[in-house]
Amino acid sequence: MRRKAMSIKHNTIIGIESFFSTWALIRAFRLGPGNLLSVLIFAGCFLFYKHVTGLYISAGGRSLVCSRVFGLIFTLFYFLYDRDNYVEDLTN
């Protein structure tokens, strides 16, 4: 039971990471949100993060925490870089 709960927790975290990565890639490539490629990009991100998370867990948990912190910093810098585009989309 505990292993299943941990699996659901990890898959939820990986899903959230994949969603934000997909959103950033779609914004970077200037694709629309209804594009069919978004599903493929999300699936690719999900499988990639699932594979990388498995490698980090087998090697030790500290690198996983470090990678998530750097991912958040990267996301923050990306938002700050493209903030004019976000403000323009919100005002339309």
* Tokens representing residue 45 in the block: 């991100």
Domain hosting 73: range is 2-91
Total count of domains within the chain:
1
| CA 78-85-80 angle, 5° bins | 30
Neighbour tally for 13: CB within 10 Å: 14
Convert the pLDDT of each residue in 57-86 to its tens digit.
666 666 667 777 777 787 788 778 877 777
- One-letter amino acid identity for 62? R
Q: How far is CA 44 from CA 2, 26, 48, 53, 57, in A?
A: 28, 13, 6, 14, 20
For residue 43, what pLDDT is reported?
92
